Structure 1
Amino acid sequence: MRNKRLFILMIGLILFIALMGFTLGRTRLTWPEKFLSDAFGTVQGTLYRPVGAVADFFRDLGRLSDVYKENEQLKQTVAQYTQDQIRFNLLEAENKQLKEDLHFTEEQKKMDKYRYLVAQVVGSTSNPYEKTITINLGSRAGIKPEMAVRTVDGLVGLVSKVKTFTSTVTLITDLDPSSSKGTPVSATFLGKPESFGIIEYDDVTGTLQMTKIDERDKPADGDKVITSGIGSLFPKGIIIGEVKSSQVGDFGLTYTAIIKPAAKFDHLREVMVIVVPEVKEP
């Protein structure tokens, strides 16, 4: 049995050596070899195309995922840039406004020795019969009732209610001097220190008026109207508006002037509470 195995091994070795000797040094293939080579190449090409397509598909998916991530990152960058730009614009506008307020405050300090507390408007009433706004300063910041309130443009109103952190401001369009609880706003014309009048609001016409003007102080269109500081809670020298037109008043002895308010009541965002130095009693 062992000799038989040895005989088969020798025959196989002889055939292998003969095959190597037969093929060694040849440059041309026999037709069986060509057939097997072509068949293997065809099968290999047939299998490679779908496998390559699948590989390319998954590779493209990977690239698509990378593109998606880059796109998301770019969107976030653009959004952040837009937000930063908005924040920059807001800060720039706020800085400009604060500079104007500071300049205004310093100039007024030199003139009238008033102090100003800058406050933000945080609310307004929708009641047409009670025109008020709410500011974000209260008693903790030193706000007291009956303090005058203005903007850089002009007079706004009077503090009517004070809480710890907020206060209610009644607009001058709601300070009815004819009411028992009304607060008259005494006014004068800039450049005419002897002139005098009372500021009222006409609900019918929706206009601000200066009444009881002496016939010797006939108003002219464009005259600046300011607080006189006489007999009222409002300190002197605060711009109220300018004269649009005028007409003869009571019995032809006085004039009534229609006033265009200096303050923009529809766009109140920031106001200043006027702190008047207390007069020490002797």
Structure 2
Amino acid sequence: MIGIVLFIALMGITLGQRSSLTWPEKFARDSIGFVQGIFYRPASAIAGFFEDIGNMRSIYKENERLKIAVAQLTTEQIQTRNYKETNVRLQNELQFTQQQKAKNNYDWRVAQVNSVSNDSKTLVIDIGSKDGARVGQEVRSLEGFVGVISRTANFTSTVTLLTTLDPKNPNSYAIAATALGKEQTFGMVESYDPVTNTFQMTKISENDSIAKGDQIITSGGGGKFRKNLLIGTVEKIQIGEFGQTRTAIIKPAASFVDWKELFVLYTPEVPE
């Protein structure tokens, strides 16, 4: 009877609105909290230990990938050095002029985009003739070839974009191009389709090995543009108008939208 009375009294105390706990509740809560702490800390430490092991495995794998990348880069640097030495030797044997030798040696100058025309065919950059900008210099973004300087003022220059390529326009031009790693490939990038946002590379031989996924770069043919500027990637190959040639549809490497800065390619001045 006494136990029942005490139980009912305890229920009445605990169910009412209170601002503090009773001493039995405090004792029970502290005891439970103490016991939980004893088990939680070691369990948390063990869980953290296994998580660290998992992270170490990820770091080890990433470290392996980085080592492989460094080894590949070192090999490519050696190959590039050999190619450069061979190229210099061949240029000397073929009696290249200093201007010809300097054609594909260039510096990058960062230029801020001041404005873009309403038709998005030209833009203005903050580098002008006072800074060494010249008509015909190539302009690129981080992604790829963008356009050519067409006019210069003292402190600004106008860049005509590759999206203006049009064989029907007498003021337009065509770009001699090849596929990266396929020196025998040749074609002319001479038009842009704004609907599909693609370039068309024409005059490709029907026996050419060009294929979907190939990266298209400038070949340097004709001397108008320097070599190895990335234009885009082949999306598909079509039969030419008369069936004797092929046309490659190319997705541009550059986005042609929302530029803040570009790079102007400067060829060193060669004394005459």
Q: What is residue 238 of structure 2 aligned with on the other side?
A: 247
Q: Partner amino acid for 2:107?
A: R
Q: What stretches of structure 1 of length at least 5 have no aligned partner? A: 1-106
Deviations 1:160-180 (A, max 9, x none): 110111111000110334432
Q: Partner amino acid for 2:205?
A: D
Q: Partner amino acid for 1:186?
A: A
With the length of structure 2 as denominator, give the TM-score of the two structures: 0.58
2:145 and 2:200 mapped to 1: Cα distance?
Answer: 14
Deviations 1:59-85 (A, max 9, x none): xxxxxxxxxxxxxxxxxxxxxxxxxxx
Mapped pair 1:207 → 2:198? yes
SS at match of 1:123: strand
SS at match of 2:257: helix
Shift of 1:203: 4.5
- Higher-helix-fraction structure: 1
With the length of structure 1 as denominator, give the TM-score of the two structures: 0.56
Q: What is residue 223 of structure 1 aligned with on the other side?
A: 214
Deviations 1:28-85 (A, max 9, x none): xxxxxxxxxxxxxxxxxxxxxxxxxxxxxxxxxxxxxxxxxxxxxxxxxxxxxxxxxx
Q: Partner amino acid for 1:147?
A: Q
Shift of 1:141: 0.6
Q: Which has the larger radius of gyration?
A: 1
Give the conservation status (yes or no) of the 8 Å contact 2:185–2:209: no
SS at match of 2:170: coil
RMSD of aligned Cα (Å): 2.2
Q: What is residue 175 of structure 1 aligned with on the other side?
A: 165
Q: In the superposition, relative to structure 1, how do residues 195 and 235 fare at CA in structure 2: closer, same or farther (>3 Å)?
A: same
Which of the residues 236, 251, 259 maps onto 2:250? 259
Deviations 1:84-121 (A, max 9, x none): xxxxxxxxxxxxxxxxxxxxxxx9xx874211111011
| 1:187-198 equivalence runs, <5 A | 187-198=177-188
SS at match of 2:222: coil
Mapped pair 1:118 → 2:118? no
Counting matched residue pairs gives 172
1:262 and 1:233 mapped to 2: Cα distance?
Answer: 20
Shift of 1:232: 4.5
Q: Partner amino acid for 2:110?
A: V
Give the conservation status (yes or no) of the 8 Å contact 1:185–1:232: no
